[in-house]
Every structure is written in structure tokens, then in C-alpha cells.
Amino acid sequence: MAENKATLSVNNVTAEFDILKGTLGPEVIDIAPLVKCGYLTYDPGFLSTAACESKITYIDGDKGILLYRGYPIDQLAMQSNFVEVCYLLLNGELPNAVIYDEFCKAINRHTMVHEQIRYFFNGFRRDAHPMAVMVGVVGALSAFYHDTLDIKNPEHRAISALRLIAKMPTIAAMCYKYNIGQPFMPPQNHMSYAENFLHMMFATPCEETIPNPVLVRALDKIFTLHADHEQNASTSTVRLAGSTGANPFACISAGIAALWGPAHGGANEAALNMLHEIGDVSNIDKYIKRAKDPNDPFRLIGFGHRVYKNYDPRAKVIRETCYEVLEAVGAKDDPFFKIAMALEKIALEDDYFIQRKLYPNVDFYSGITLSAIGIPTNMFTVIFALARTIGWIAHWNEMISSPYRLSRPRQLYTGPTERKYVRMKERK
């Protein structure tokens, strides 16, 4: 029973609503009974709407705090690894050594994809955007696991989670290899998760390549930084699709599609393209002016966030990682890193950005870092989707394993009132 109540009085109707308190963050007003009073709430973009209860990730946008199951993101990025973070997000606690070893082995048993999946790729043009291929191939995975798609069965949910965590790197690397016309490279289960991905991306049958350990560690950190982010647009898409009872592969495919947009996960690709368009530090002022012009659609990609009104804690970690990678590959004088650093400094001192609390987000430096690792721009959002899959699955599993309802928002209707059909010959 809620301790506090909110009272709403409108047009002689007065109603009380429970105020619910979480462990962290704003209290919420349970307005579900409002419809019985003949009213709906109106909140396009869900700026003031908590769509669900969750125990997975907490963001304090004003303080720039991000916690995965209570652990600060910088501690996990610097001290943990992505597979351990996958276990944490999915199960709620850090694993001990035995459980961690079993989890790694369980993932490794599912890194290959069915041989028939190879033929899906042949239907795409070689120059298809890898995100278009990911949406299609991941959605098609449900065609291969008819025997484990009962979402009410915890074992089916567990095996689906393992399959998705294990197969996303394999499918992502296949997208890249198909795009450049090289043969697919099979996963190497003796390698770590990030090392295996870089191997499948850059090794060829002609010669053995050992991924640079600095780049492997950097990519593992990038995976951790992108793993989850509470109810962002793509995670909300996965939850909404999951609320219809759709299978997990279809729900993750819907999440990949939502992530693709430049306002969301597509921002890392768009941010690097923007830095290339700026081209030189001397052009920064011109682009800052454009970003501030309400009549110019240009936005400073990689800046601003719906929730963070402070520095995105992931951007701090990724900026340091970016410098480590540039140093490791002998590119610490990378011109685009210099433009990014100069752009950040100028924007953070400009009233327009200060007043609107626009700070660099995770996408601002990720593109430069991925590019320095050797990953092409059109694969940046694929990397984001690979990493975010564990977040999507954790939220899907959290929803499906507790009582839930079909998500079906209402609307404010402003269209025509009822009118009679007019036959063609009677129309003007």
C-alpha cells in the first residue's frame, strides 16, 4: 500500500493516485486508474513517463551516474569484462569464479550459427548497410529454434539469451565480411569474447592474425559501456514487442531496427561523419553556429541526451580509451580526435550548450575509437547493437518473468469527427 497519495482535481472530478517510491530516482505517480475518471495523460516522447518497474540499470542524469545492478559503469569498464557484465545484467549479481567459468563455456557452445544462415546473406547486395542485414538475419534466427520459443519457459528464455549473446558477434562479423567480399571466419572458442570478434572481423584463411591486446581490451570496454541504458528507445521497443508475446529473436530484431536511427544508436556513425564534414579545427565555429540556429536542422551529433544533463559517464571512459587506442596504433595525432577535443571544449564553454545542459554522450568519442581499431563507419551501430543485445535480453527477460500486460498506449485524437462516405461521382 503506498504511503503517499497524489490528488488530481479537474472539472469537478477529484481522484487520488498512489505515489510509488523506488530505491533510487524520482518517485512515480501511478496514474493507471486515471482512465476511469474519463481522462488520459499526454506525454509524447515519454519525457515524464515511467513505462515500467526495473531493477537492472539506474541513471541519474543530473549527476551523470550510471549503475548496472548498482555497480558504477566506470568501475565495471575498468575492472570487469563484458562477459561478466552480461552475467551481472542478466542475473542481478556478479558471478563467482566457478559460475563465471561455466557461463563462458555455455556462451562458447553457441558461437556458431546454423550453416543455412550463410544463404541469407546471398539475398542481400554486397553494399547493403550492415544494420539492414543484422535486422534481417537476427529476426530470422527464430526460424531455427522452434523447440525453444516458449517464452513462459525459463529454460527456453535462458537458452535464447545464451544464443543471442554468443551469436551476435558471429553474425556482426559475417555482415562485415559479406560487405567486403571476404570469406566468413568461424568463431575461435579459445579466444575471449572481444578477441574472437576481432578475429572473425579481420582474420583471413590465408594467414593467422593475433588481435592487438590493447585493441581487444578497448573493444571489451566499449561493449561494457554500451551494454545497457535503462528504458532508451530501443530497449522500450524490445519491451513493447515482448509484451505481445513475440519470440526473443523477433524482439531483438525490433530493437536493432530502433537503434539504427541517428538520434539514438546511429549517432556514433553520424558523429564521425560530422567530424569528417567539419574537416578542420578552423571550421568548428561555423558548425557550432549552425547547431545553435533553430532554422538549421544540423545538430552536434554526439552531444545532448534525453536523460543526461551532465557529462555522460560513458563518454569520460571512452575518451580515455580513445587516446589509449590512438597511441597503440600510432595515431595519437589523429586529426578527427583533435577536432572532437576542440569541439567539446568550445561547446562546453558556449552558453547555448550550457543553458540546455548539452554534454558529450557515449557516441561522441566511440566513432573515433572504433575507427582507430580498424572498424569501418558503417559497422559502428552494428557494434552498438552487438553490445546492447545483453541489455535488451535482460529487460525482455525481466518483463516476461514477472506479471506483465500488453503495452498499448492511447492518443489525443484531433482528426475528423464522424462523417458519411461520399461516392466518387458525387465528389467535387
| Residue closer to ligand SDX, measured from CB, 133 or 315 | 315
| Residue closer to ligand SDX, measured from CB, 111 or 234 | 234
Q: What's the CA gap between 161 and 392, in Å, rounded?
A: 10
CB atoms within 10 A of CB 256: 29
| Residue closer to ligand SDX, measured from CB, 72 or 154 | 72
Q: What's the CA gap between 13 and 317, in Å, rounded?
A: 51
- Give the chain's count of helices (H) and strands (E): 17, 6
The answer to whether 311 touches 342, Cβ cutoff 8 Å, is no
Q: Which three cell numbers stand for residue 303?
A: 552531444
Catalytic residues: 264, 305, 363
Q: What's the CA gap between 219 and 216, in Å, rounded?
A: 5
Query: Minimum distance from CB of 393 to ligand SDX (Å)?
Result: 15
Residues of the shown chain interacting with ligand SDX in the complex, contacts defined by CB under 6 A: 229, 232, 263-265, 267, 291, 294, 299-307, 356, 358, 361-363
Contacts 24+ apart (CB under 8 A), 196-205: 196/111, 196/169, 197/169, 197/172, 197/173, 197/386, 198/373, 200/169, 200/170, 200/173, 200/174, 201/172, 201/173, 201/176, 201/177, 201/374, 201/375, 202/374
How many Cα atoms are found within 13 Å in the side-chain-facing hemisphere of 180?
Answer: 17
CB atoms within 10 A of CB 149: 16
Alpha-carbon separation of residue 354 from 316, 348, 357 (angstroms)? 18, 6, 5
How many Cα atoms are found within 13 Å in the side-chain-facing hemisphere of 23?
Answer: 10
Taking alpha carbons only, the member of 170, 206, 175 closest to residue 188 is 170
| Residue closer to ligand SDX, measured from CB, 220 or 312 | 312
Query: Minimum distance from CB of 342 to ligand SDX (Å)?
Result: 16
| Residue closer to ligand SDX, measured from CB, 115 or 351 | 351
| Residue closer to ligand SDX, measured from CB, 276 or 299 | 299
Q: What's the CA gap between 347 and 264, in Å, rounded?
A: 20
| Residue closer to ligand SDX, measured from CB, 104 or 385 | 385
Q: What's the CA gap between 184 and 205, in Å, rounded?
A: 9
The answer to whether 357 touches 310, Cβ cutoff 8 Å, is yes
Query: Minimum distance from CB of 202 to ligand SDX (Å)?
Result: 26
Indicate the residue whose CB is closest to ligand SDX.
304
